[in-house]
Amino acid sequence: MKLFVALSAVLAVAAAVGDYHAVEHKHIPIVHSELLQSNDGQFKYGYESANGIVVQEEGHVKNLGSKDQETNVAHGSYSYVDPHGVPVSVSYTADENGFHAHGSHIPTPPPLPIELVEAYAKVGSHPEAHHEEPEVLKHHGFLPKVLAIECVVVRLSTSLSLTYIHSDIQLKEPYPSQINPEILETES
């Protein structure tokens, strides 16, 4: 019986292998290619394939003020024809602010609601209020001193609201690693 089960398993595997067909990979030749690189960090490369894919990029090292503050900057583009025959083209920049791609096929976010734009403008232009610390808290040197707290509630719809809290908190001194016994005596 065991021989029958083992033989059946081997035959099943052999039969299944015959149903597999490997995907044919079509070789696409590169019709143009370039690569330039200098010792100061500048580079330029690009290629074009026979099926219409075109890639180009160039970049350099950007100094942000000191030797320790350098970043790579790259500008480039690529284009191809999608499976539906529609040409797709993307241009991009990558620098200290991140990667930013632009293309007609890339979705764009909807505009912010006017209420939210107005709330951001109000919070951004509001001068910081400086509040005196209450006398009762002055002997607690480790408690935070609140300079400004503002809360803006924007109603975006009947079921959704956004709360934005703007605060600027500054400590008078770092929190102590242990509580001062003198403070405990004055509190009791």
**CA distances in angstroms from 108 to 16, 48, 72, 101, listed in the order given:** 47, 28, 26, 11
Average pLDDT on 70-78 reads 92
Q: What confidence score (pLDDT) does residue 42 get? A: 92
Segment of 51-55, 64-68, 144-148 carrying the highest mean pLDDT: 51-55
Helix H or strand E encompassing 13: helix 2-17
Report pLDDT for 41: 84
Can you tell me the mean pLDDT for 121-137?
A: 63
Torsional sign, CA 111, 113, 114, 117 = negative
Q: pLDDT tens, 140-158?
A: 554 444 444 444 444 444 4
More confident residue, 135 or 119: 119
Checking if the pLDDT of 165 tops 90, the result is no
Over residues 77-95, mean pLDDT:
93
The model's pTM is: 0.47
Local structure of 71: helix, strand or coil: strand
pLDDT more than 70, % of the chain: 60
Transcribe 76-133 into DSSP letters. Answer: EEEEEE-TTS-EEEEEEEEETTEEEEE-TTS--PPPPPHHHHHHHHHHHHSPPP--PP
